[in-house]
Chain A
Amino acid sequence: MALAKELYRELQDIVGPEYLSEEKVVMDGYAWHGFGLLGPEPEDRFQTVPEAVVLPGSTEDVQAIVKWANRRGVQFKPQVTAFGAHANVGKPGQIILDLRRMNRILEFDEKNMYMVVEPYVSFITVMAEAQKRGLYVNGLGSGSHVSVLASITSMHGNNCLAITQGYSGRNLLGCEWVLPTGDIVRTGALGSGAGWFSGDGPGPSLRGVIRGAGGAMGGLGVFTKAAVHLHPWPGPAEIKVKGVSPYYNGEIPPLMEYHLLEFPDWTSYGAAQYKLAESGILFSIQKGGGPGTVGYSVTGNNNEYYEAWKKGELMPPVSSFAITLNAYSEKEHAYQVKTLNQILADTGGRISPVGEKTDWKERDFLHLIKNCFTLRGAYRPTGQFVVDSVIGNDTIGSTVLGVEKDVELRDIWMEKGFILNDGTHSGWQSVFEGGHMALHECGQDYDPFNKVTYQQMYQLLRDGNKIAVETPMSLGWSLSGAFGGITSLSRHFCDYAHWMQQVKIALDPREASDPSGYISAHDVIRK
C-alpha cells in the first residue's frame, strides 16, 4: 500500500520530488533490519514497510511535514543513521523522515566547549573536528558512525570514553525540537535567547521529559539541532594511523598509554575500577570489545582470529579491562603511570601481556579512542548477537556483579552449545564520570543461520530477563520501548512507563509520532 496520490503530492510540495520516494526497493531498504531477533524465523529481517520516505532539508521542512502528518492523520518516524530496529516504523501506514540531508556542524564554541550539530553529524566527525581544537566528545558503544544528535536527545548511549566525556544524555546542552504537534521548542539557555551554553537554563530544561535515561527513540517528535557538550582532549590534534584497511594501527603518542589490565578475581577487578576512577587518571576504560571479543577486533578477518586462537593467542583473562591515559605534560604523564602502577600493586592486578603485543595494543588503543572497530567484535564473529537483558546502569559494584551473572548465564548456554564458545567471556562494561556510575551489557553471539539456535535465543532472553529482575539490575536500554516489553516490566522499575505515557499524551495528543520505540497512549501497562 502506498500513500494516496493526494497525500503524496502534498508531501512532494513540501520537499520537492527528488526528496520523496515510495519505490518498493527503496521502502524495503528502510524496512530491513539487522538486529538480533526480529521474528519467529531467522529470515524475518524485513520489518514493517514504510508508505513513503521523505528527506527534509531544514527545520522548516520538518515542521511542515509534522504539521501535515497531524492534519492528515499519518504517523511518522524520524531516523538518522538508523542503526537498530527502533529506527524503523512500528506499524503499516507510517512514513519515515530520513534526516540525512541535515548534516551540518552549525557552530563550534571552543571557549564554552560545545558544538551545535544537525541530526546527520556522526560522532567520528565531531571527534575529528574537536580533536583539532583540544576538545573531544563522548562516542557510542555501537560505533562512532552513528548520529551525535540522536544519541544525546533520543537514545541511551555511552562508551569507553564516558569516564571523561560523560554519557549521551548528560552532554545535551539544549536543542531545537519540533514537537509531535509541529510546534517548535528550544530548550536550555537557547530557549531564553542566551545561546547554547547550558542545557538547564535560563530557559526550559526538559531533559528528563525529552529523554529520561533511555530516550524516546523517535516517539516524541523530531530534534533538528542540538548542542553537544565537549570535554578536554590533552592529546595531539590527530592520532596518526598506520596501515591499510583492515589493518589500521594507531600510533600511541608519547603522553598517552594503552594497557589491558588483568586481575585475579572480580573483587580486585571492581576495587581497581573504583580506585582508578577516583584517581582521575583515566581517559577511557572498558571491559571487552562490545558483545564479541577484543580478539576479533584486533584481527582483519575471522580466519585470522581463529588461527591465532588455536595457538592460544588473543586470549585475555575474563577479569580484565582496557584503559587509556592521556596527559597534557610529561609530569602529568609520569603521575598517571605511577598512580596506575600503585593501584595495580594495591589490588593485585597487572598489565596483561596479551594487550602489550603490538597489533593488539595499537588497534585496541585506536578503538578506545575512536570507537572505530565495534562492528568487528559485535557482528563479525557470527554475524549476529542478542543482548540478553543482563544489563545494568548503576554503580561499579552493581555492574561488576552483572558481569559475573553474565558469565554464569553464558557458561550455561555455551555448555548447551547454542552460543559462541571460544573461552572468552566478553560481557561489556564501562565506567562513567569519575566512577559514580557504570554500565554493563552482555551480548551473546550465535549462528543466525541455524534455526534451532535462533529459536533457543528467545529462551536465553527470557533467562536473562529473569536474572535482570531478580538481581535486580537497573533498567537497560533493551527493555525500553515496545521492542523491549516496557508494559510488562515497568512494574519492576518504579512504574516508569506510566510517567512516559503521561508525557506522550501531553505532547502528542494525536499520536502522530510513531510510539513503537517509546510508548503509546493506548498501551496497557501491567500492574
Chain B
Amino acid sequence: MALENHYKDMMRCVKCSECKWIPLAMVKSQRFAQCCPSMGKYNFHTYSGGGKVNMGMSLYTKRAEFNDENLDILYRCTMCGACDVSCKCTKDMEVMEINQELRLLAVAEGQINLAHSPLLDSLRQEDNMMQKKKQDRGNWADGLTVKNITQEKAQVYFHAGCRYSFDQELWPEVRSALTLLQKAGVDVAIAGKDENCCAGRAYEIGYQSELNKYGENNLDLLKNAGIKTIVTPCAECYYAFKVLYPKLLKTAGLEVLHITEYLNRLIKEGALKPSKKVEMRVTYHDPCHLGRLGEPYIPWEGEEIIVNQGTYIYDPPKPWRKGTYGVYEPPRDLLQSIPGIELVEMERIKEYAWCCGAGAAVIDTYPELAEYGAEERLEEAGATGAEAIVTACPYCKTNFNQVIQANHHKLKVYDILELLEQSI
C-alpha cells in the first residue's frame, strides 16, 4: 500500500497530540506520561506520530521534498508503534503505516540515509546487519548437539537471529534457550551458518526488496524442511515472521512463537519445571516487537463505506492493529513461574510500554536517541524499586547494557532466558 492509499488517514489527523502521550486512561504520573522517545528527545511536532502523518501529506501534495534534514527527522524514530496505539485508542486511522510508507518512498526515490549504508552493505554481502562474517553465524551453537534443518527434518525450527548469533555476550542466553527446548523433548533444529537475517529491520528503514528476498529465502528453507513451527528468542525476528511475512509475502499456516511463549507453554504442560529459587525483585520491559507490534497479522481486503450519513466503517470489518492482542502475558507468566522472583510493574507497560530506544536501526545510526530511550526506561524501572530490568529482546538488552555501563547505573539487566536457566 503506497502513501496515496493513506490519503484519508492523513486527512483525518486532527493534530490532537494524543500520539505524544500514553493512552490517557493509563496515565499515572507527570514523569512517565509520554509515549514517544523521538518527541521526548527532539521536541518539534514533526517528530511525533501525527507529525509524520503531516509530513506524509506535505510530501504527498508536493509541498516539500525529501532532503538530508527531513530524512534525519524521519529516521530518528524507533518505529516502536507507541504513537499508533495511543492514536488508535480513540480514532480509526493509521499512523505507523504512514511512517513506514514514508521510509519506503524515500528509498524508492533514492533518498538514502547514508548512516544506513554500512548496515545494508553488510546485509547484502554477509546476510546480516551486524557487519559480521556470515561464516561465523553458527558459532554460537558450537559444542551443542542439535539437528540442522538443511540436513535433517524436525518439527520445530529455532531461529536465533542476527544479534544472538553474532554478539558473544548473548550466546549463553541463546544456547540455554535451545538447551531448554531440547530438555523438554522438543524435536528442534537450527540452520547454523545457513541461517539468514529476517530482514525485518531492513524493511523498517525502507528496504522492502531486501525483506522480500530474505523472507522468501527463509520461507523456502522452512518449507523444504517441512517445518510447521518457528521459535525465535529475538523479538524483532518474531515480528518479521509473525507479522511482516504474512503481510508482505502472504504466508499462512506457519506457527510462529517467541521463545517466551513456547517455554511458557512447556512449563504449563509440565515439560519444564523451574524449581531453583532466584531471589530477585524484577521489572519486565515489554519489547515493542513482541508486545504491541507482535499481535498476529490478519489478512484483510475491503473498502471503506459510509453509513448513517457520515460514519465510515469497513466492509468487511477491518481487523485493526491497535496493540490489543500483543504478547504481554506469556513473558510475565514465565517470570512468575520462577520461584523467588517478585515481579513489579513499571508505569508504562504492555501496549503502551516505553521503547528502549534501539529499534529500526536507531541503536546503530542515532546512538544519542538510543541512549535517551534507554535512560528514560532505566529511570522508570528504577522507580519501581526493582533490582533488575528483564526483557525478551536482544536489542533491548544490549541497549540497556550499554547505557548501564556507560552511565554507571546500579540496575542490572537480564534476558528472561538467563533467569529461567538459573531456575531449571
| Residue in A46, A245, A305 whose beta carbon sits within 8 Å of that of B324 in the complex | A245
Contacts of B73 in A (CB 8 A): 23, 25-26
Pair A371/B24 contact, Cβ less than 8 Å: yes
Contact (Cβ within 8 A) B324 A375: no
Smallest CB-CB separation from A376: which chain B residue? B90
Stretch at the interface among A64-72, A124-132, A206-214, A333-341: A124-132
In the complex, per-residue mask of B284-304: 1 if CB is within 8 Å of any chain A CB, else 0: 000000000000000000000
Contact of B63 among A46, A303, A379, A383 (CB under 8 A): A46
B396 to chain A, nearest CB (A): 21
B25→A250 contact, CB < 8 A: yes
Q: Judge whether B134 is part of the interface by a CB distance below 8 angstroms.
A: no
Residue B373 interfacial (CB < 8 Å): no
Contact yes or no, B18 A244, CB < 8 A: no
- A28 in the interface (beta carbon within 8 A): yes
Per-residue CB contact flags for chain A residues 415-454 toward chain B (1 = under 8 Å, else 0) read 0011111100000000000000000000001111110010
User: Which residue in chain B gives the minimum CB-CB distance to A303?
Assistant: B317
Residues of B within 8 A of A422 (CB): 308, 311
Q: Indicate whether B266 reaches chain A with its CB closer than 8 angstroms.
A: no
Taken residue by residue from 86 to 99, chain B's Cβ proximity to chain A (1 for < 8 Å, 0 otherwise) reads as: 10111110000000
Given the contacts A28-B63, A29-B54, A381-B311, A244 and B323 also touching, CB distance less than 8 Å = yes
Q: Cα distance A309–B307 when bound, in Å?
A: 11
B46 touches A26 (CB 8 A): yes
Contacting residues, chain B, for A244 (C-beta < 8 A): 323-326, 328, 350-351
- B5 → A minimal CB distance (Å): 14
A306, closest chain B residue (CB):
B313
Q: Which of B8-16, B177-185, B193-201, B410-418 contacts A (4 or more CB under 8 A)?
A: B8-16
A373 lies within 8 A of B92 (CB)? no
Most chain B CB atoms below 10 A, which of A127, A143, A419:
A143
Contact between A30 and B91, CB atoms less than 8 A apart: no
- Chain B residues near A149: list those with CB within 8 A: none
A372 near B312: Cβ-Cβ < 8 Å: no
Query: Is there a chain B Cβ closer than 8 Å to A407's Cβ?
Result: no
Distance to closest chain A CB from B386 (angstroms): 19
**Are the CB atoms of A25 and B328 closer together than 8 Å?**
no
| Neighbouring B residues of A98 by C-beta, 8 Å | 43-45
Chain B contacts with A in 339-353, Cβ cutoff 8 A: 350-352
CA distance A476 to B203 in the complex (A): 50
Query: Nearest CB to that of B30 among chain A residues?
Result: A125
Q: Which residues of B contact A250 (CB under 8 A)?
A: 25
The yes or no answer to A370 lying at the interface (CB within 8 A) is yes
With A19-B43, A29-B46 as contacts: A379 and B14 at CB distance below 8 Å: yes
CA distance A23 to B69 in the complex (A): 8
- In whole Å, how far is B280's beta carbon from the nearest beta carbon of chain A? 26
Q: Is the CB of B308 within 8 A of A370?
A: no
> With a CB–CB cut-off of 8 A, which chain B residues contact A366?
25
Evaluate contact between A129 and B30: CB separation under 8 angstroms: yes
Give CA–CA (A454, B78) in the complex, Å. 38
Chain A 283-310 near chain B by CB (<8 Å), digits 1 or 0: 0000000000000000011110111010
B26 sits at the interface (CB 8 A): yes
Q: How far is the CA of A396 from the CA of B371 in the complex (A)?
A: 54
Known: A245-B352, A246-B324. A145 touches B21 (CB 8 A): yes
Enumerate chain A residues within 8 angstroms of B374, measured Cβ to Cβ: none
**Assembled-state Cα–Cα distance A21/B44 (Å):** 9
Point out the residue from B8, B44, B310 that lies within 8 Å of A29, measured CB to CB.
B44
B44 touches A55 (CB 8 A): yes
Contact yes or no, A417 B309, CB < 8 A:
yes
Please state if B25 and A248 are interface contacts (CB–CB under 8 Å).
yes
Contact B324 A419 (CB under 8 A): no
In contact, B44 and A245 (Cβ under 8 angstroms): no
| Cα separation A301 to B300 with both chains bound (whole Å) | 16
Tell me if A247 counts as interface (CB < 8 A to partner B): yes
- Complex: how many Å from CA A170 to CA B142? 71
Residue A134, interface by CB 8 Å:
no
Tell whether B390 is near chain A: CB-to-CB under 8 Å.
no
Q: Once bound together, how far apart are the Cα atoms of A185 and B354, in whole Å?
A: 39
Contact of B90 among A35, A373, A449 (CB under 8 A): A373
Q: B55 within 8 Å of A by Cβ? A: yes
| B23, B314, B323, B326: residue with the most chain A Cβ atoms closer than 10 Å | B23
**A94-136 near B? 1/0 per residue, CB < 8 Å:** 0000101100010000000000000001101111110000000
Q: A30-B45, A244-B323, A372-B24 are in contact. Are A303 and B313 (CB under 8 A)?
A: yes
A420-B309 CB under 8 A given contacts A28-B64, A375-B91 = yes
- In the bound complex, residues from chain A placing their C-beta under 8 Å from that of B15 are 32-34, 82-83
Residues of A within 8 A of B335 (CB): none
B314 adjacent to A303 (CB under 8 Å): yes
- Determine the distance from Cα of A453 to Cα of B311 in the docked complex, in whole angstroms: 13
Given contacts A30-B45, A248-B25, A375-B90, contact A419 B310 (CB under 8 A): yes
Is A53 an interface residue when CB atoms closer than 8 A count as contact?
A: yes
For chain B, give the interface size range: 35 or more
Q: Please give, as numbers and ranges, the residues of chain B lying within 8 Å of A330 by CB-CB distance.
A: none
A381 touches B310 (CB 8 A): yes
Residues in A with CB closer than 8 Å to B92 are 301-302, 380
CA distance A45 to B328 in the complex (A): 39
A401 at the interface (CB under 8 A from B): no
Using A122-B33, A244-B351 as known contacts, say yes or no to A370 and B318 having CB atoms under 8 A apart: no
B77 to chain A, nearest CB (A): 14
> A306 and B309: CB pair below 8 A?
no
* A418-B310 Cα distance, complex, nearest whole Å: 8
Interchain CB contact under 8 A, A29 and B55: yes
Q: For residue A14, which residues in chain B have a CB less than 8 angstroms away from its CB?
A: none
- A25 CA to B10 CA, complexed, in Å: 14
Q: Is B59 part of the binding interface, using a Cβ–Cβ cutoff of 8 Å?
A: yes
Q: Which of A16-52 contact B (CB under 8 A)?
A: 18-19, 21, 23-26, 28-30, 32-35, 42-43, 45-46
A35–B14 touching, CB < 8 Å: yes
Say whether A382 faces chain B, with CB atoms less than 8 Å apart.
Answer: yes
* Cross-chain contact of B311 among A127, A238, A306 (Cβ < 8 A): A306
Q: Which of chain B's residues 16-42 have a Cβ closer than 8 Å to chain A?
A: 16-18, 20-21, 23-30, 33, 42
Residues of A near B323 (CB, < 8 A) are: 244-245
Minimal beta-carbon separation of A363 from chain B (angstroms): 9
Shortest CB distance A200–B (Å): 28
On whether the beta carbons of B313 and A25 are closer than 8 Å, the reply is: no
Q: Smallest CB–CB gap between A148 and chain B, Å?
A: 11
Given A29-B54, A82-B15, A303-B314, is A101 in contact with B90 using a C-beta cutoff of 8 Å?
Answer: no
A503 in contact (CB, < 8 A): no
Closest B residue to A417 by CB, please name it.
B309
How far does the Cβ of A137 sit from chain B's closest Cβ, in whole Å?
12
CB-CB nearest in chain A for B57: A32
Inter-chain contact A418/B17, CB cutoff 8 Å: no
Chain B 181-223 near chain A by CB (<8 Å), digits 1 or 0:
0000000000000000000000000000000000000000000
User: Nearest 10 CB-CB pairs, A to B?
Assistant: A34-B14, A372-B24, A375-B90, A28-B58, A420-B310, A382-B310, A125-B30, A24-B64, A303-B317, A29-B54
Residues of A within 8 A of B (CB): 18-19, 21, 23-26, 28-30, 32-35, 42-43, 45-46, 53, 55, 81-83, 98, 100-101, 105, 121-122, 124-129, 143-146, 238, 241, 244-248, 250, 300-303, 305-307, 309, 366, 370-376, 379-384, 414, 417-422, 445-450, 453
16 contacts between A and B (CB under 8 A): A23-B67, A24-B64, A25-B64, A28-B57, A28-B64, A42-B11, A83-B16, A98-B44, A98-B45, A143-B18, A143-B24, A241-B25, A246-B23, A246-B322, A306-B307, A421-B310
A307-B317, A380-B91, A382-B310 known; 19 other A-B pairs, CB under 8 Å?
A: A23-B69, A24-B58, A24-B63, A24-B64, A25-B59, A28-B54, A30-B45, A32-B15, A32-B57, A55-B43, A55-B44, A98-B44, A100-B43, A245-B85, A246-B322, A250-B25, A301-B320, A302-B311, A422-B311
Chain B positions near chain A (C-beta within 8 angstroms):
8, 11-18, 20-21, 23-30, 33, 42-46, 50-51, 54-55, 57-59, 61, 63-64, 67, 69-70, 73, 85-86, 88-92, 306-314, 317-318, 320, 322-326, 328, 350-352
